Amino acid sequence: MTQPVSGLIGAQLTVINVGLSLFAESLRQQGIEVAQVDWRPPAGGDMVLLGLLDQVTQIDKGDDADDN
């Protein structure tokens, strides 16, 4: 069941904000309903650490396919 995009225009907005709560606050001040998702990047966003992390955490996901 799809609805035409035009249905969104003029409808009341509900926003999901992921990450920095500053954006959510700004929208709330404009009277817009916001669901805040308090997300932070894994390993602080350090790509080298993320690569290393993959080597030791996949066991928890039941994914050992790439073991060697």
Positions touching another protein (CB under 8 A) are 39-44, 46, 49, 51-53, 55-59, 64, 67-68
Of 37, 2, 42, which is closest to residue 20 (Cα–Cα)?
37
Least Å distance, CB 7 to another protein, is 31
Least Å distance, CB 28 to another protein, is 15
- Are 16 and 23 in contact by the 8 Å Cβ rule? The answer is no
Residue nearer to another protein on the CB measure, 10 or 41: 41
Sequence-ordered alpha helix ranges (H) in 1-68 = 21-29, 47-57
Least Å distance, CB 57 to another protein, is 5
